Structure 1
């Protein structure tokens, strides 16, 4: 049942071999005098009982995973019900049965308070990267496992560089990898160069959690191509949000891969909320259950009597039904309690062997005086130990479920070798209260790691001491840990923060809380980082205002990125007041810029610009610095997004000159992007393309993925706006490839949206529709992707409206309506309102649709420059008279044409020329100028054809036919109608899904053309 597991003893012996080799030449007498283990009940206790059904289920799941049908399975049960034992027994069994299987495990920690981001997954990646003793914490190490891991190590290191570079220095320590790379020969030299390069350090300073999670997932998928993987996650009830997010993403993407994830948790802990929010694991369980169906093995539902009987019957005994029933009533069949109670009964003499070697009830058996709870049974066992061993265990319990022999030794002023002997020989082999995990080096010092056999044992020992003694003991443990990790304090920051908090020394705790927050922030675990910063701020020294302001700035950034915008605003405002009082104008200016960004995201452009200018006024009082350049470039971006391109270019030129003077590459790239987009929008595509191409190449050289993507998306959109679809397609294909390789969800998804839009416009409807599933995938993977959510859903709505599915289009747009309104940017508002009006009209809400279009056109008309995204909405508004004839829509049509003419003068592109000619034709036909209308429609149709815009051409051909009828040219009209219908028919043939095809073929556009062809044919 895991407590008296002979398999674990073998495992511990193999782990201790390195320590024994070190000590054997100095202390041979210790090895010779070691006493044999005492005989606990039962002597030949098998490693596992009463779990054959559960083991068989797990084996079945693994067999499926080995075939490529990867999956997640959880073992649920309360403390002491055998979750860890089941995981360990299964792991050892399958490693024996499958020589190529790689098993790695990790544990969540009950004593890290706020959370240790990604802890079990960090331990797993450390196993793969050459630290197999990390596996021992989960009891999953097999004697052959180090050999298997060694064979896989070169592949692991290669994948870290090629597939998961952001994990280096965030999920896995750089020093560990440097050691393995330097000893791995020429083929690992690339890794060494990568780790030591400044570009990698710069590249890893601003990583999104989605990128880390994506890279970790891809790495596991690629490793499983070389060997099947069993990943074991224990104590998930203590999981932090980052661990839950990574588990969720990896768990959903196992199909087609030889990976099985096996997790264990306590249902009662997961049912409890954290700070009023659901437990991080609860959503994971719910969502994965939707993917996999039943995914939990509940040990709490197992029949306790079966366990009691099987446990007793391992050895020969003469224990009757009354004894078995009473034992069951006493323990409820709880595995840990039952085993501990039987051991206690043996020690008391309540169980003895008769002359035939059969276990029987002893003459002194008295059920009334036996422990009534598992804690009592543990207490009886502890009380039988010699006092020095009890004190040693009590001291160890202050470090947590896992502890360090050297720390215990120094706290107690003991000889470290004697401490290790007591732990390994006495408390491990003899008493089975702890187990050895292995050793590691920190700053040149060897640290020997152990783990309590069960957390209930650790908790019992910890609670034996009173509050006063606990405080002093935590202080001693904290200072000792500090001395051991003095050269690598980052590695112990979480533990030290907890220890000093428990020691009630806040001035020390805040140092490590801040350090833990910075660690979490570097690893993109921003929720945990914010919690650490908030905890540090509660006790931050009152006289250190500068440090407090810096901490508030860090906290505000975390809150902003995790969309806690109002919290971030409050935090930044407090930080600003402190910087202002200290006359730290650089800090004050930086925070004012951050507040400006916040207001932009909240959709308040006026306040956003105000705070950007506040930042400017503050920073201009100081010598020119990078923060000033950033503020200037931010103002340029605000004007660019608002379509105020003259101001965007003026501010952009100032930002670029200052950034070049200061050598601020990030600002150079930012300002080039703003200016490049502005030149495209003001009819100077060659200059826009030059700036964006240069920005792209510089960002690529500097390995700044976000800036690479921003340059590509702006370049692609610029070409799209000028109707250069071939050029735009190449750019978006490159963006798609690069963003997917670097796991940047918002840009990977945006590239597919823009490619899909181009394909839709150019009549490649099958390809366009095929992009939908992958866009949805990127939407699910993304973090803080409101922009992608809007552009994707507007694109989907465009498809649905053109296919005649107005109700689904309406639902998509309704969901993002408030978000679009909040952004208040024409590049989003224009396309949204066009599809919103079409959807509303399609479901019979014409009045609302008309009102929305009137407001949109009035807003567009107020601007000096009109962005390209306004062109097709203007065409829709211009022809709205057809949908809803009235004086209002006539005025709407005229105003839209005036603005469309302005847009064409601004861009002077084939795209705007085609749109303007189509608009002129509609206006001229309404005014009775039939001949002019025919000329305009003919010109527009030719221009749309030159752009491969087949759907737009079909629309214009339809209107040409109507115009030809008015001139009496029925035969020409029939030819034109047939061409338009042929276009629509070919589009319909590309639609694979019958529901979509049927809907499209029954749209008013298609049906109207069919009727016109029949009528014209009859007339002819």
Structure 2
């Protein structure tokens, strides 16, 4: 048969150059991603073939995998299995161990010949212990990273429009985490397949926002390129009429042009449509070749030779000749030597056309034959358990054999769950439930319980990020479970329901479900299930600030856990008990318990337990102002989890903990670097909320209010809170931002609402933070009201400040009732509250601020110390203790400058100008004022005068007598040549002598 495709690479020169440039960037440790889009047949694969050839010649390691179309679900991780299998088979045992690293067990889920996989099915573990999909992702990334140590790695994933959800998640993870690695990721997809709700669209939108990611859109050939293509096919310069006719019919699509030429070799008698063209091509085959092609189409875009032989039932020589004819007619293409022997359709469109031409009964019979062949071969050692199981389910479903489709689909769901492909597991398991209702009861497989499938589907849904569906599924399982006959089973299901409700953000219903689980699971004999559910209820109540109830349950869970040897439940109980004490400000007793839980988790080796206990311990250490210890716990835990391959799942939260500790210690540049790098690394939504919350605090303190508000919008754009910081914390951040922005009234409303939400505000540590922010807002409001002569506003602010001060005193009193010894942070907060309340009342209470400064020095929180020193300086100046004020102001200024706390620095410098105190490196002279004969002091007086302040108010603000202020006003009027205060203000405005703040 004549040549079908051009032997020369036609067009696409700029696109090819962009891919080569991307490889150059990746080779220079600048990981890059290119997304190649175009209609079917536009030349994506041809472009990849050309690029890959050059990349391999240059020394790059190229891995290529195809996404396969298989029903609505897809084959879990299909392109990664296809890309990695030839590589792993080509390595020596020693090199294989080096490349795989510590992840052999996880990788065995995809490649069973590597050894026994780590176990589990959806629903098999406790709802709090999530199977390690993140661990599998880390293993895959580790392989690529180790490969890239030798040479740049190019990973090509073709036909992403058919990618399963787990493949999309893994690609997202790799692109986000390939910082400084020599990696180039290329994904191709059909742009004409992407309808408005196509699941690939959100991933494309997310990736396209990342640095190093770019799109390459392939357009249709023009007349010149098409003429070059036709010349390559025919071996001679094409007639212009032929070029015009092919261009008109093909629309410049290279594949369509090739097929049109193959069908119309005699001249210009071109078929009317592509389908006609492909039909004609198939009909030109001999009978057996046509039959083999039809059989192959049932397998999809690719078919293994061994399975094709079994289904075709042809003698080997006849089968060989039939396949050879299809290959020679450019309909089938043999797989590469390093792949499993088989064939691919030259183009997916060809497979679709051939399959569509099958008669209904023919399809049913062939799908059944493929299923039987797959079952027979799966009894040995399948190369891809999850993939084979998915194909079995697909073929039995299309064979309309529901009795066999049910166990096959259930098996596919369990295999997908074992491979951590949770969205696919959910889809298969829910399909099993649909089939259950369609199969006659007497034909249902023995040993399969519908409530177990519901439980497994619920867990898969939760792991796939669909907690609402998991709630519906587990409630269905509960409805079919008799709590009287099966109290343990009903209790376990209620336990799962509680977890899913918590993950959906419905904590109140979660607590109710957890209480029902505790009531159902028998007390005697003690069991692991009882230990876990009691410990989890204790933790849930602690989160809701029901500390007294939580403590009692935590102590009970601790006893049960130690009786039955339930280590994970013991760590949970220790954490709940330690947090109960720490949240009630009994840090002296709480921290040792939290450290015991952390060390127990480290010995047990469960990544999630290590993470949860580390976060709890770090939080308590921060509350105790032991920030160096908190920082070390976060760093060492991150290192440990990295060794275990769990950094991707938990590293973001630990980065947030490090950022908070560094902020409190005054190491703001380090804090910002860690927070920025962790956010850029693509953390989980769980971690992203904490990271943003901490960065909002940092931006607010630095006066980067625009950035703080953008992060707040990003936080809100994450959608409904499933996990992450409690809403009270983000409200506290909003209040802090309002105070810094000069909006005390807004802050007042936020704080009042949030304090009212706390279950035990007299013991909750969050209450102290909110009270102090509220007192700052009221003090600012009182100051502003006094300056404006608004006595009613001032009285309201003073009254609210008094209420908040009383609330802080009540808090500390209650803490002393339950805590062995309230720590330095509580003492410091109480003293700060007292000082802020005095400021709100307009009192120059120097001793109160001196006491606050002494307490804050003990804590080692420089930002809080600088704020207290600034207020101490102001009060000292009012009290005519100028030297003390100057000393405090100089220290506060030095700290603010070092931190980069711009609002605080500007406040200090403004105070220095008003009090006429010199600060190192600060120029308070005003050239414009000098030119007009105004002294710096007179300009300050003029600014206040323009605000409508009286002489007395000017004197109070600038720490001078009312008569002195009057003298300054008289001098100013004379220098400006006016007789009235309003004229002076108007003239100052016109001349731009000052800016209203």
Per the normalisation by structure 1, the TM-score is 0.79
**2:691 alignment partner in structure 1:** 792
Q: Match for residue 421 of structure 1?
A: 320
| CA distance in structure 2 between the aligned counterparts of 1:208 and 1:824, rounded to whole angstroms | 18
Q: Check the 8 A contact 1:659/1:665 in 2, yes or no.
A: yes
Is the CA contact (8 Å cut-off) linking 2:371 and 2:395 kept in structure 1? yes
Equivalent positions of 1:135-534 (< 5 A) are 150=91, 154=94, 157-162=97-102, 167-170=106-109, 172-173=110-111, 175-178=112-115, 206-207=130-131, 209-252=133-176, 256-270=180-194, 272-273=195-196, 277-281=197-201, 283-284=203-204, 287-288=207-208, 291-292=211-212, 295-298=215-218, 300-304=219-223, 306-312=225-231, 317=236, 320-346=239-265, 350=266, 367-368=268-269, 370-415=270-315, 417-418=316-317, 421-422=320-321, 425-428=324-327, 430-437=328-335, 448-487=341-380, 488=382, 490-534=386-430
1 CA distance for matches of 2:99 and 2:731?
A: 45
Which residue of the partner structure matches residue 852 of structure 1? 750
Are 1:877 and 2:877 counterparts? no
The CA deviation at 1:1000 is 5.2
Shift of 1:804: 3.4
User: How many residues get paired?
Assistant: 893
How far did residue 966 of structure 1 move?
5.8
Deviations 1:834-869 (A, max 9, x none): 332232344454334223323444555x62862333
Instruction: Name the SS for the 1:371 alignment partner.
Output: coil
Residue by residue, what CA displacement relative to the aligned partner does 1:405-439 show, whole Å, maximum 9, x if unpaired? 22232223334x436633664433x4333233268
Matching of residue 956 in structure 1 with residue 868 in structure 2: yes
Instruction: Give yes or no for contact 1:633–1:655 (8 Å, CA) kept in 2.
Output: yes
Cα distance in structure 1, aligned partners of 2:293 and 2:566: 56
Separation in 1 of the partners of 2:36 and 2:156?
11
- 2:791 equivalent in structure 1: none
> By how many angstroms is 1:623 displaced?
5.5
Q: Residues of 1 paired with 2:310 and 2:129: CA distance?
A: 37
Tell me what 1:916 maps to: 830
Corresponding residue of 1:594: 496
CA contact (8 A) 1:112 1:495 kept: no
Structure 1 distance, partners of 2:589, 2:497, is: 32
Q: In 2 relative to 1, CA 458–1013 (structure 1 residues): closer, same or farther, beyond 3 Å?
A: same
> Which is further off, 1006-1015 or 384-393?
1006-1015
Supply the distance in 1 between the matched residues of 2:481 and 2:448 (Cα, whole angstroms): 7
Mark the CA change 1:893 to 1:811 in structure 2 (over 3 Å): closer, same or farther. farther
Q: 2:517 aligns with which of 600, 615, 626?
A: 615
The structural deviation recorded for 1:482 is 0.8
Q: 1:824 to 1:373 in 2, by over 3 A?
A: closer
**Gaps (5+ residues) in structure 1?**
1-38, 131-148, 179-191, 351-364, 442-446, 989-996
Q: Aligned residue for 2:60?
A: 101
Match of 2:75 among 97, 108, 116: 116
Q: In 2, distance between residues paired with 1:477 and 1:603? A: 45
Residue 553 of structure 1: how far off its partner (Å): 1.6
Deviates more, 1:495-504 or 1:697-706: 697-706
Equivalent residue, structure 2, for 1:558: 460
In the alignment, is the contact (CA less than 8 A) between 1:910 and 1:943 conserved in 2? Answer: yes
Q: Secondary structure at the match of 2:41?
A: coil
User: For 1:659-738, what aligned pairs fall within 5 Å after superposition?
Assistant: 659-682=561-584, 685=587, 688-738=590-640
Change in CA separation of 1:842 and 1:976 when aligned onto 2, cut-off 3 Å? closer
Q: Is 1:753–2:652 an aligned residue pair? A: no
Change (3 A) 1:79 1:660: same
The CA deviation at 1:909 is 0.9
Q: How much has 1:622 moved relative to structure 2?
A: 8.1
8 Å CA contact retained: 2:23, 2:184: yes
Q: Which moved more, 1:628-637 or 1:521-530?
A: 521-530
Would you say the 8 A contact 1:831–1:870 is kept in 2? Answer: no
Shift of 1:732: 2.0
Please name the residue that 1:776 is paired with.
679
Per the alignment, residue 185 of structure 1 pairs with: none
Report the CA distance shift for 1:806/1:376 in structure 2 as closer, same or farther (over 3 A): closer
Between the aligned partners of 2:773 and 2:903, the Cα distance in structure 1 is 21
Return the alpha-carbon distance in structure 1 between the equivalents of residues 563 and 35 of structure 2. Answer: 58
- The whole-number CA distance in structure 2 between the counterparts of 1:753 and 1:699 is 21
* RMSD, aligned α-carbons: 3.8
Q: Say if 1:41 and 1:342, in contact at 8 Å, map to a contact too.
A: no
1:868-899 deviations in Å (ceiling 9; x for gaps):
33333222334543123322332233223332
Contact persistence 1:395–1:473 (CA under 8 A): yes
**Structure 2: any 5+ residue segments left out of the alignment?**
783-795, 920-957, 962-997
Q: Structure 1 pair 278/375, CA: closer, same or farther in 2 (3 Å)? A: closer
> Aligned in 2, Cα 1:82/1:962: closer, same or farther, shift over 3 Å?
closer
Name the structure 1 match of 2:881. 969
Contact 1:854–1:892 under 8 Å retained in 2? no
C-alpha contact (below 8 Å) 1:112/1:494 kept by paired residues: no
Q: Which of 942, 949, 974 pairs up with 2:854? A: 942
Distance 1:342 1:794, change over 3 A: closer
1:209-261: per-residue Cα shift (whole Å, max 9, x none)? 45544543354234212112222222222112222233334335556443223
Q: 2:27 aligns with which of 44, 50, 66?
A: 66
- CA offsets, 1:42-63, max 9 Å, x none? 7x96264455554444334434
Q: What's the CA shift string for 1:922-954, capped at 9, x where partnerless?
A: 456778997xx5544433322321222222222
Query: Separation in 1 of the partners of 2:812 and 2:392?
Result: 65
Question: Which residue in 1 is equivalent to 2:2?
Answer: 40
Please tell me whether the aligned partners of residues 669 and 707 of structure 1 are also in contact (alpha carbons under 8 angstroms). Answer: yes
Q: 1:767 aligns with which of 665, 670, 676?
A: 670
What do the CA deviations read for 1:952-972 (whole angstroms, capped 9, x no partner)? 222333343455456553333
Rounded Cα–Cα distance in structure 1 between residues aligned with 2:392 and 2:723:
47
Q: Which sits farther off after the overlay, 494-503 or 761-770?
A: 761-770
Matches of 2:547 and 2:606, distance apart in 1: 26
Q: 1:86 is matched with which residue?
A: 47
Q: Is the 8 A contact 1:289 1:295 kept in 2?
A: no
User: Could you say which residue in structure 1 is the equivalent of 2:559?
Assistant: 657
In the superposition, the TM-score normalised over structure 2's length comes to: 0.81
- Separation in 2 of the partners of 1:709 and 1:500? 43
Once residues 620 and 301 of structure 2 are traced to their aligned partners in structure 1, the CA distance between those partners, rounded to angstroms, is 58
Q: 2:718, 2:34 → 1: CA distance?
A: 37
**Residue 964 of structure 2: aligned partner:** none
Q: How far off its partner does 1:341 sit?
A: 4.1
Counterparts of 2:769 and 2:711, CA distance in 1: 20
- Whether the aligned pair in 2 keeps the contact of 1:678 and 1:688 (CA below 8 Å) is yes
